[in-house]
A and B are shown apart, each in its own frame.
Chain A
């Protein structure tokens, strides 16, 4: 006999492992055991196979790899005896899951065991099938399981019923085969069969509307009667839990009734009495009773309207909410969320209790309550609710502040009755939890502030005060304060635009500069804040001539900064102050007011689109696209700090507006970003950055790059950052002021250089058509701009629409964000997306492209692929 396999018994191995004092020791023991088991497997040892598998299961549970034992499971299952099969099936369920190919090998054994004469072996096979079967196995073995639903022993019938649930989940098409046998299970008396039968029927209804219709007609009556019998049944020791006969069966039947009653007045009507009886008669002093009440309330809320029952249900929830048991309060909050759509008024009555729950010591309850409060807010109660929440923000746990802040910001933005209130509340949030405020939120705040021209003075003074009071660094408060002081500093010192509610404050110009100086010198300010402070200083130097000298010195201090961005700004601003007094005042004028609607629209619309294009392209396609998609990401991600990529597309243009375009470009040499790094600072500086600096600004760039000879020669240092092939572009020197006026239209016209190429249908399937329109940028024949239009020809709406493209190595491809991610059906409406292809072998090779389109219809993911080879030949 093999010296290894005789080895240790299972019990001894577990003891040995438990005796290990260190992880290393444990690993050594396991290694030894695994080696012995492998040796035994190689020897094809029969005697200890089941023991070895048991050991492997234990080792697996500790988290060590055990894939080498998978075949042993199959061998044990294939052996004749019950003990071997029992352990084999257990191993199969533990060591494998439905995605492993090995599992397919067991299909035949399963089929034999499902037909075995020993009912316990049949039970084992059903159990394994129910727990891990894959779609293919489900298809193969469905007839066996269907037959077993009528097996003589009820314990097999109940297992077969649950196994059928799994089969239907894997292959919904099979549902119709199970309807009739499932219906007959409902007539049984055995509780196990009833429970599983009811569950099977519920599952069938979910997958098949015909089944739902069938059960509604045939079974509603029977279920109501069975439930009635159950509720009124005398004490049954076998099923009794806390004085209730089989609460599990109660709950499953209530759930089934919910499915039957939903959307059907007759069925709902029929179950009214029994629901009322359950709701009033069930004892609520034990968990089991409460579980039934909870289920009953949910059923009442979901079925068709019956006023009386709903009052009953809401009262039960009210009782739950004031219960001392945290579990009960939790489920009450959970259910009130659903009740709010049914009877908002009734839920509003519990508002004070719910607000108390927001302050609970239990994180789960707090979270639930906060979600609920969020739903409770409307125009009439937004003020008191926000007040409560903000007050609580002051004392909330650190880990809860993030959630709470996000919700408050969202409530305030959604329901604010007037701007001044919105600004007040946001300032409070910023001072309390500025570090938890998302970038979009404070960007949004700045947009609102800049739009509210009558509140500029009020806001900047309030921020000044808040800044002085705040003792710890709240990053976003500092940023907003610095931005406002930069823009509206003169209003701060002169008390311009006083409102009646304000007390006048005395602020000197030096005080205002102090604030910005604190912000820039604080060691924990991050780059964005410092850069914003730098801009604010530049602006103040024009607004406060008396402090100009001091500001100049402050800015000059960063000339030697190791952070490139600050150094660059410092040098540029310094030279503006020093040698361009005449144009400075024009340069640092107030930001143009940003249209709120555009901002909101852009934020809402573009975020998902850019997420899908950039992520999708970068991750999924191997064909050179991932490389060329990276600059796109950079382009969008202009803020260089912790802003996640997806959110930046919506916010980038506001970031331009704020002048914090801290491009990451200099750190990424060699990518196509070079032109941008030269322009962005100028764009900011000239306050015309409302157009995102996408790559199509080529013509703008060439104007700028020729500036070396133009009056603004102080920017020499800047252009050395960007190794631009300036000579390539025709010189178009124009005076700076023209630039100011003319840049934005230039950008737009750049891609409209008449399309001389015919449009093509790049891809067409039964339901989707993609057309490409082409145009060229003047001066670069290699580059083609493609304007892709997606049309949905099917009647269904496509959501999460993602278009991806891949090109061979001699091409370079850039995808701009799509115009949306939802494609309405029947061809009315389309999504457009711009692509830019650069052909490195222009004139030698023609364009080709491979496409992949992913979208969702009715919650199903669809993937289409195609190749485009009918491009016009000379692109």
Chain B
């Protein structure tokens, strides 16, 4: 099971955190501090796994961002690397060659996509296309709602003129 997902920039700034196991606010910041210290200090050629407090952190660097998922001792590390890559590819497709700034200004979108990929710390969908389709459908629902809202407010505005 994936206990949490972290996105950390090379400067140690947190870009996304998702917790599937209960950690209190205090523990969360401690976890982030400890793990980012360990991960950011590792050299480029080393393996992508760090053992940490009886769990394993699997991380991978994409440009300036470190994607990190923390799993149980006996989970498949290589598969988690593949899940990370899967997520990155979906982000890339959604934003069109994604960069850190996309994830900063549209952090909620990154969360929505993650929620289509993982639930309860387990993998939900192995098809990038399906995830993209579901996200697009929900985005369009939001758009229609917005349009309706603005048209209604237009009507009200005109009526009260």
Interface size (A, Cβ < 8 Å)? 71
Query: Once the chains are docked, how many angstroms separate the CA of A331 from the CA of B80?
Result: 12
| A83 and B126 form a contact (CB under 8 A) | no
| A155 and B22 form a contact (CB under 8 A) | no
Query: Once the chains are docked, how many angstroms separate the CA of A247 from the CA of B50?
Result: 23
Q: Decide if B40 is an interface residue (CB 8 Å cutoff).
A: no
Q: Decide if B130 is an interface residue (CB 8 Å cutoff).
A: yes
Interface string of B144-161 (1 = CB under 8 A from A): 011000000000000000
B: interface residue count bin = 35 or more
| A97 and B104 form a contact (CB under 8 A) | no
Considering the complex, give the chain B residue whose CB is closest to the CB of A248: B126
The listed residue (B45, B48, B82, B141) touching A248 by CB distance below 8 A is: B82
Interface string of A238-269 (1 = CB under 8 A from B): 11010000111101100100000000000000
* Chain A residues near B126 (CB-CB < 8 A): 191-192, 195, 239, 246, 248-249
Q: Decide if B94 is an interface residue (CB 8 Å cutoff).
A: no
Considering the complex, give the chain B residue whose CB is closest to the CB of A237: B129
Query: Once the chains are docked, how many angstroms separate the CA of A54 from the CA of B104?
Result: 12
* Chain B residues near A771 (CB-CB < 8 A): none
Within B7-49, the residues touching A (CB, 8 Å) are 14-20, 22-25, 29, 42-43, 45-49
* Chain A residues near B46 (CB-CB < 8 A): 326, 361-365
Q: Decide if B108 is an interface residue (CB 8 Å cutoff).
A: yes
Interface string of A117-128 (1 = CB under 8 A from B): 000100100110
* Chain B residues near A368 (CB-CB < 8 A): 51
Q: Decide if B124 is an interface residue (CB 8 Å cutoff).
A: yes
* Chain A residues near B78 (CB-CB < 8 A): 287, 290-291, 294, 327-328, 331
| B111 and A195 form a contact (CB under 8 A) | no
Q: Which among A158-166, A756-764, A779-787 touches the partner chain?
A: A158-166
| A251 and B120 form a contact (CB under 8 A) | no
Considering the complex, give the chain B residue whose CB is closest to the CB of A10: B105
Query: Once the chains are docked, how many angstroms separate the CA of A750 from the CA of B144?
Result: 87
* Chain A residues near B43 (CB-CB < 8 A): 361
Query: Once the chains are docked, how many angstroms separate the CA of A126 from the CA of B119?
Result: 9
* Chain B residues near A248 (CB-CB < 8 A): 79, 82-83, 86, 123, 126
| A61 and B134 form a contact (CB under 8 A) | no
Q: Tell which of A61, A294, A368 has the most Cβ of chain B within 10 Å.
A: A61
| B77 and A331 form a contact (CB under 8 A) | yes
Q: Decide if A384 is an interface residue (CB 8 Å cutoff).
A: no
Q: Decide if A722 is an interface residue (CB 8 Å cutoff).
A: no
| A241 and B82 form a contact (CB under 8 A) | yes
Minimum CB–CB distance for B23 against chain A, Å: 7
Minimum CB–CB distance for B143 against chain A, Å: 9
Q: Decide if B62 is an interface residue (CB 8 Å cutoff).
A: no
| A326 and B51 form a contact (CB under 8 A) | no
Q: Which among A86-94, A207-215, A375-383 touches the partner chain?
A: A86-94
* Chain A residues near B48 (CB-CB < 8 A): 326-327
| B81 and A291 form a contact (CB under 8 A) | yes
Within B117-137, the residues touching A (CB, 8 Å) are 119-120, 122-130, 134, 137
Q: Decide if B142 is an interface residue (CB 8 Å cutoff).
A: yes
* Chain A residues near B50 (CB-CB < 8 A): 364
| A162 and B107 form a contact (CB under 8 A) | no
Within B93-121, the residues touching A (CB, 8 Å) are 104-105, 107-108, 111-112, 115, 119-120
The listed residue (B51, B85, B112, B127) touching A191 by CB distance below 8 A is: B127
| A247 and B82 form a contact (CB under 8 A) | yes
Within A59-91, the residues touching B (CB, 8 Å) are 61-63, 65, 81-83, 86-87, 90
* Chain A residues near B23 (CB-CB < 8 A): 97
Query: Once the chains are docked, how many angstroms separate the CA of A688 from the CA of B42?
Result: 53
| B79 and A120 form a contact (CB under 8 A) | no
* Chain A residues near B19 (CB-CB < 8 A): 97
* Chain B residues near A131 (CB-CB < 8 A): 18, 20, 115, 119-120
| B49 and A364 form a contact (CB under 8 A) | yes
Minimum CB–CB distance for A403 against chain B, Å: 11
Minimum CB–CB distance for A49 against chain B, Å: 13
| A158 and B125 form a contact (CB under 8 A) | yes
| A127 and B119 form a contact (CB under 8 A) | yes
| A90 and B49 form a contact (CB under 8 A) | no
Query: Once the chains are docked, how many angstroms separate the CA of A165 from the CA of B120?
Result: 7
* Chain A residues near B51 (CB-CB < 8 A): 364, 367-368
* Chain A residues near B82 (CB-CB < 8 A): 241, 247-248, 287-288, 291
Q: Decide if A130 is an interface residue (CB 8 Å cutoff).
A: yes
* Chain A residues near B112 (CB-CB < 8 A): 86, 90
Q: Decide if B76 is an interface residue (CB 8 Å cutoff).
A: yes
Q: Decide if B138 is an interface residue (CB 8 Å cutoff).
A: yes
Q: Decide if A179 is an interface residue (CB 8 Å cutoff).
A: no
Minimum CB–CB distance for B32 against chain A, Å: 8
| B124 and A82 form a contact (CB under 8 A) | no
| A251 and B119 form a contact (CB under 8 A) | no
| A120 and B129 form a contact (CB under 8 A) | no
* Chain A residues near B115 (CB-CB < 8 A): 90, 93, 127, 131
| B47 and A195 form a contact (CB under 8 A) | no
Q: Decide if A509 is an interface residue (CB 8 Å cutoff).
A: no
Please judge, given known A-B contacts A97-B19, A97-B23, A364-B51, whether A192 and B125 are in contact too, CB under 8 Å: yes
* Chain B residues near A192 (CB-CB < 8 A): 124-127, 130
| A120 and B120 form a contact (CB under 8 A) | no
| A97 and B22 form a contact (CB under 8 A) | yes
| B77 and A159 form a contact (CB under 8 A) | no
Minimum CB–CB distance for A128 against chain B, Å: 9
Within A125-145, the residues touching B (CB, 8 Å) are 126-127, 130-131
| B145 and A62 form a contact (CB under 8 A) | no
Interface string of A86-122 (1 = CB under 8 A from B): 1100100110011100000000000000000000100
Query: Once the chains are docked, how many angstroms separate the CA of A700 from the CA of B85?
Result: 71
Q: Decide if A862 is an interface residue (CB 8 Å cutoff).
A: no
| A57 and B134 form a contact (CB under 8 A) | no
Query: Once the chains are docked, how many angstroms separate the CA of A328 from the CA of B49?
Result: 11
Minimum CB–CB distance for B69 against chain A, Å: 14
Within A287-329, the residues touching B (CB, 8 Å) are 287-288, 290-291, 294-295, 298, 326-329
| B22 and A98 form a contact (CB under 8 A) | yes
Within A469-486, the residues touching B (CB, 8 Å) are none
| B107 and A58 form a contact (CB under 8 A) | yes
The listed residue (A57, A65, A81, A330) touching B49 by CB distance below 8 A is: A330
* Chain B residues near A166 (CB-CB < 8 A): 119-120
Q: Tell which of A63, A87, A361 has the most Cβ of chain B within 10 Å.
A: A63
| B108 and A87 form a contact (CB under 8 A) | yes
Query: Once the chains are docked, how many angstroms separate the CA of A127 from the CA of B134?
Result: 13
Minimum CB–CB distance for B160 against chain A, Å: 15
| A97 and B125 form a contact (CB under 8 A) | no
Minimum CB–CB distance for A455 against chain B, Å: 40
| B127 and A61 form a contact (CB under 8 A) | no
Please judge, given known A-B contacts A54-B108, A63-B14, whether A251 and B142 are in contact too, CB under 8 Å: no
Query: Once the chains are docked, how many angstroms separate the CA of A105 from the CA of B5?
Result: 27
| B141 and A83 form a contact (CB under 8 A) | yes
The listed residue (A82, A290, A326) touching B145 by CB distance below 8 A is: A82
Minimum CB–CB distance for A416 against chain B, Å: 29
| A11 and B142 form a contact (CB under 8 A) | no
Q: Decide if A18 is an interface residue (CB 8 Å cutoff).
A: yes
Q: 5 A–B contact pairs at CB < 8 A? A: A93-B115, A195-B125, A196-B124, A247-B82, A295-B76
Q: Which A residues are closer than 8 A to B by beta carbons?
A: 11, 14, 18, 54, 57-58, 61-63, 65, 81-83, 86-87, 90, 93-94, 97-99, 120, 123, 126-127, 130-131, 155, 158-159, 162-163, 165-166, 169, 191-192, 195-196, 199, 238-239, 241, 246-249, 251-252, 255, 287-288, 290-291, 294-295, 298, 326-331, 334, 361-365, 367-368
Closest 3 A-B residue pairs measured CB to CB?
Answer: A291-B78, A326-B47, A162-B119
Q: Which B residues are closer than 8 A to A by beta carbons?
A: 14-20, 22-25, 29, 42-43, 45-51, 76-79, 81-83, 85-86, 104-105, 107-108, 111-112, 115, 119-120, 122-130, 134, 137-138, 141-142, 145-146
Given contacts A195-B126, A290-B78, A331-B78, 9 further A-B contacts (CB under 8 A): A14-B104, A14-B105, A126-B119, A196-B124, A248-B79, A248-B83, A249-B126, A295-B79, A365-B46
